[in-house]
Amino acid sequence: MPISLAEWLAYLESLHPKTIALGLERVAQVKQRLNLNPDFPIVVVGGTNGKGSVCALLESILFAAGYRVGCYTSPHLLKYNERIRIAKQQITDDELCASFGAIERVREDVPLTYFEFGTLAAMHYFLEHEVEVAILEVGLGGRLDAVNVFDSDCAVVTNVDIDHTEYLGKTREQIAHEKAGIFRKGCVAICTDNDIPQAITTQAQKVGAELWRVGHEIKCMPNQGQWDYSSSLGARSALPYPALRGRFQLHNASAVLAALDTLKYQLPVSMAAVRRGLSEVQLAGRFQLMPGRPTLIFDVAHNLHAAHALAQNLADMPAYQHTYAVFAMLQDKDIPGVVAAVNVHIDTWLVAGIAAARGATTEYLEHQLQNGMVRGEIKTFSQVAEALRFAYNVAGENDRIIVFGSFYTVAEAMGDAAPLAA
C-alpha cells in the first residue's frame, strides 16, 4: 500500500483505465462497504460555472455561524489537500493517506477513478471528524457524478452552458438533464440561471423537488450600496456585497441564502454570520487580484460563459494603459469562443503551452488567435511561467496582467508569481 501522499495520488491515477468514467455503481459499492452514511445535512452544488463561488460563500457563512463545516471541491490549484476542508482548514497529508488507506482496504477489485476515490475519502474524513454540515461540489455533470451517491438536503445548479459535450451532451437541454440529476424528492432545488432550460423544470417535477429560481422564488435587489434578499422562507436586508468580484456573485449569494433558508431549522444562521461570511469569503483563481503593481489578475475561465463573465469584470475595472494576457487552454475547449469574448480587452497576447495531457500547444493557440484576427500583438512562449516573467519585465505600473484559460494555467502562474511580485 502507498505510504506518502505523492505515492497515493500516483496510485489513484493508475487504478482505472479512464480519467473520467461516469457512473455510480463502483462508488456505491465501496460506499456501502465503508458504511459511509452521513446523518448531517448535505448541500450538493452543480452547474457549468459558479460552483466554486457558491461553495466558498456557503462555507464562509456557515463557518462564521460557528458550524463545523466540511467542504469538498475540485479541481485544486496547487495542492490536492485544497479539495477537502473542515472549518476552512485543509486536510493534512497524513489524514488524506489515512482516508485513502481506509478505502483501499475495502475496495477489493472495484476500479475506482481518481475522482471517485477522492470523493469517498472526503466523506470518510468528514464522518471521522464529525462535521455538522457538508458541502459537496459536483465534479462533472451531476446525475452520474460520484458526489451524487450521497443524498442532499438541498441541491444547487448554478447555470447551464455548453461544456464537456463528450460526456454530457451537445445541447443545453441535454446538459441540463445531467446537472438536474442531483435533485431529490421533497427537497428544494435551486437554480441561478437567467434562462433556465426546460430540463431543469422537468426533472424537478419528475422527482418531486421544489424548484426555486433566482429572480422568481428567490429575490435579490440592490439597495444603496447594499442589497436585500427574500424567499418564501425568509428575508435579509442591508447585506454587504460578496467579497468575490463579479456582477453574477449576487445571484450566487442569493442561491446560498436560499440554501440556508431550507436548512434554517437544522442550521440556524444569524444576520451577523451572514454579513461576516459575505465580507470575508475568499476563492483563489476567480478574478483574483493580487497586491502590487502592475495589477495581476488570476482567472480560471475556461469556457464561453466564464469568458463573458471575465470580459465583464475587465470592463468594470478602471482604465489601464495596457493589458497583457498570459493565455493557455486545453485543446478540447472552445478556444475561438473564449478568445472572441475577451478580445476587445487584450492589447498583447502572451501564449503558452501547459503541462497537461489535453493541453493545447503554443503553435495551436497561436493559430487560433490568428484565425480569430485578435486586435492585439501575439507573442509565444514554451511555458506559462516564462510568459508571466516576460509580462512582469515589460509591464508598467499602470498596466495590468490577466492570467487565464484553465486551472492549469493559473496553477502554473501562481507558483511563479510570488517571487516576481516581491
pLDDT tens, position by position, for the chain (422 residues)? 899 999 999 999 888 766 677 789 999 999 999 999 999 999 999 999 899 999 999 999 999 999 999 999 999 999 999 999 999 999 999 999 999 999 999 999 899 999 999 999 999 999 999 999 999 999 988 899 999 999 999 999 999 887 777 778 889 999 999 999 999 999 999 999 989 999 999 999 999 999 999 999 999 999 889 999 999 999 999 999 999 988 889 999 999 999 999 999 999 999 999 999 999 999 999 999 998 999 999 999 999 989 999 999 999 999 999 999 999 999 989 999 999 999 999 999 999 998 888 899 999 999 999 998 899 999 999 999 999 999 999 999 999 999 999 999 999 999 766 555 54
Amino acid at 307: A
| 288-421 to CATH, choices 1.10.3730.10, 3.90.190.20, 3.40.190.10, 2.40.10.170 | 3.90.190.20
Q: What's the rounded Cα separation, in Å, for the pair 368 and 60?
A: 40
Do 302 and 408 touch, CB atoms closer than 8 A? no
Residue 104 grid coordinates: 483501499
Distances (CA, A) of 375 to 60, 346, 369: 40, 8, 9
Residues in the chain: 422
Domain-wise residue ranges, the chain: 5-280, 288-421
- Chain-centroid distance of CA 121 in Å reads 19
Is the distance from CB of 310 to CB of 338 less than 8 angstroms? no
Buried b (16+ CB within 10 A) or exposed e, 209-229: bbbbbbeebbebeeeeeebeb
Q: Report d(CA 301, CA 192) in Å as an integer.
A: 18
Cell readout for 273 is 454570520
Q: Which pLDDT belongs to residue 23?
A: 81
Say how far apart CA 320 and CA 242 lie, in whole Å: 25
pTM of the complete model beyond 0.75: yes
Q: Which string of DSSP letters, residue by residue, matches 144-161?
A: TSGGGGS--SEEEE----
- What element of type H or E holds 405? none
Amino acid symbol at 124: H
Given this model, what pLDDT does residue 244 score? 93
Whether the CB-CB separation of 70 and 86 falls below 8 Å is answered with yes
CATH 3.10.20.30 fits domain 5-280: no
Q: Rounded CA gap, 297 and 402, in Å?
A: 5
CA angle 127/78/343 to nearest 5° reads 120
Quick one: how far is CA 307 from the chain centroid? 14
**What is the rounded end-to-end Cα distance, in angstroms, of the chain?**
42
